[in-house]
Chain A
Amino acid sequence: MATYQLNVNGQSRQVNVDPSTPLLWVLREELKMTGTKYGCGISACGACTVHVDGIATRSCVVPVSLVGDRPIVTIEGIGTDAVGRVVQEAWIERDVVQCGYCQSGQIMSAVALLKATPKPTDMNIEESMGGNLCRCATYVRIREAIKSAAEQI
């Protein structure tokens, strides 16, 4: 076990965990922030996506020992970000969500895309969101919501 001081959504949080523990389980089990979901556990589906130092990161495969002092933003905190808020509003406006399990990861990836590419093309969206799977197949509404958000940014 080791003690880590994490910067999560602008707050300093201390955890005492095994160094090999994936960040996902630190967020969910230690910090009780369950908005970030466990999907595949091998970074294949994107449900666990959070931002680490602004980079969309698959938290299920990143041991907490490798996070360091880089700031972490989760779905619980993304709404305080200007782009994050616009994306969440677009998600509601377009009624994107069906079962919703993958959607926190979808939103985190969409925010990362729009921060880097404010006016994404269809190809940009397909490439950047290609690692986020949705078993309800809400892909068309996800694309619409990203384009809608882009118009607001």
Chain B
Amino acid sequence: MWANHRLLLPVFLLMLVVFVSCIALSTRASIETADKGSAADPKLADGLAAWEQVYSVLTSPRCINCHTATTYPQQGDDRHRHFANVIRGPAGKGVPGLNCVSCHQSENADSTGVPGGSNWHLAPLSMRWQDTNDRPLSSGAVCRALVDRSRNNGLNASGLLKHHEEEPLVLWAWNPGRRPDGTMRTLPPLTHAEFVAATRTWVDAGTPCPRAR
């Protein structure tokens, strides 16, 4: 009798572990599939495909160079650290004496090779799209950051679409001006119209995010 009781305890613990694991996996799966339906849903599939297009733009140098996880911006297609000891500062606009607008004016200065646009600044750390080693975050991680209203300045899905359509610094990515050597800066992999269309498809599908990688 006592031997049977000694056997029951491990069996009970094993069942408990299996039960908790099933619950956790089920919850995670529902989040990762973007809680909008099954992957067989064509609208969801289109949305996820559109998101990957959006992600390709967000992680291009024209965008990600100012979505860093570090205390400084980056520059160039090789995304090296910004020169001249420029730092993020408390509001993402540099520091007194060395503000972003100490050099970056309201529009590109092609004669001197300094890019410019309205209110030049870094994205907040909550919108970082790379890790502290300057490696881009996964598609799923960037997606989840983008749709998290506690991190994205309170934007809902239509607000995100509007941001991609109209925000001056977003638009700058397709008019990045010339480098100091006179050559044109590289553009994102999609046109702005394609980027907006992809964002709209993603939004219409309910802003699904891919599974974590």
Residues of A at under 8 Å CB distance from B?
20-22, 42-44, 46, 49, 55-58, 60-63, 66, 109-110, 112-113, 115-117, 124, 127-132
- Whether B98 pairs with A131 at a CB distance below 8 angstroms is yes
Report the bound CA distance from A66 to B117 in whole Å. Answer: 11
- Whether A62 pairs with B84 at a CB distance below 8 angstroms is no
Task: From known contacts A66-B107, A127-B87, A130-B85, infer whether A110 and B97 are also in contact, taking CB-CB under 8 Å.
Answer: yes
Chain B, interface SS category: loop
- Whether A62 pairs with B97 at a CB distance below 8 angstroms is no
Residues of A near B102 (CB, < 8 A) are 43, 49, 55-58, 131
**Which residues of chain B in 72-116 are interfacial with respect to chain A, using CB atoms and an 8 Å cutoff?**
83-87, 89, 95-99, 101-103, 105-107, 109-114, 116
- Whether A63 pairs with B112 at a CB distance below 8 angstroms is yes
Residues of A near B110 (CB, < 8 A) are 20
- Whether B106 pairs with A56 at a CB distance below 8 angstroms is no
Q: Name the one of A46, A56, A61, A130 contacting B112, with C-beta atoms under 8 angstroms.
A: A61
Q: Which of A55, A110, A115, A124 is the most central at the interface, judged by chain B CB atoms within 10 Å of its CB?
A: A55
Report the bound CA distance from A112 to B94 in whole Å. Answer: 13
Chain A, interface SS category: mixed
- Whether A112 pairs with B112 at a CB distance below 8 angstroms is no
Q: Name the one of A20, A60, A66, A129 contacting B97, with C-beta atoms under 8 angstroms.
A: A129
Report the bound CA distance from A37 to B113 in whole Å. Answer: 20
- Whether A128 pairs with B84 at a CB distance below 8 angstroms is no
Q: Name the one of A44, A57, A62, A116 contacting B96, with C-beta atoms under 8 angstroms.
A: A116
- Nearest-neighbour CB distance to chain A for B159, whole angstroms, equals 30
Residues of A near B89 (CB, < 8 A) are 127
- Whether B98 pairs with A109 at a CB distance below 8 angstroms is yes
CB nearest to A66 among chain B residues? B105
- Nearest-neighbour CB distance to chain A for B76, whole angstroms, equals 14
Q: Name the one of A21, A62, A110, A127 contacting B103, with C-beta atoms under 8 angstroms.
A: A62
Q: Name the one of A62, A116, A129 contacting B109, with C-beta atoms under 8 angstroms.
A: A62
| B180 CB-CB contact with A under 8 Å | yes
Give me 12 A-to-B residue pairs in the complex whose CB atoms sit less than 8 angstroms apart, sorted by A's number: A20-B111, A22-B111, A42-B112, A42-B113, A56-B98, A66-B105, A66-B106, A109-B98, A110-B97, A128-B97, A129-B98, A132-B97
**Which residues of chain B in 41-100 are interfacial with respect to chain A, using CB atoms and an 8 Å cutoff?**
83-87, 89, 95-99
- Nearest-neighbour CB distance to chain A for B90, whole angstroms, equals 10
Task: From known contacts A55-B102, A56-B102, infer whether A113 and B114 are also in contact, taking CB-CB under 8 Å.
Answer: no
- Whether A63 pairs with B109 at a CB distance below 8 angstroms is yes
Additional A-B contact list (9), CB under 8 Å, known A46-B84, A55-B99: A21-B111, A43-B103, A66-B116, A109-B97, A129-B97, A130-B85, A130-B87, A131-B86, A131-B98
Task: From known contacts A112-B97, A115-B96, A127-B95, infer whether A62 and B112 are also in contact, taking CB-CB under 8 Å.
Answer: yes
Report the bound CA distance from A106 to B105 in whole Å. Answer: 21
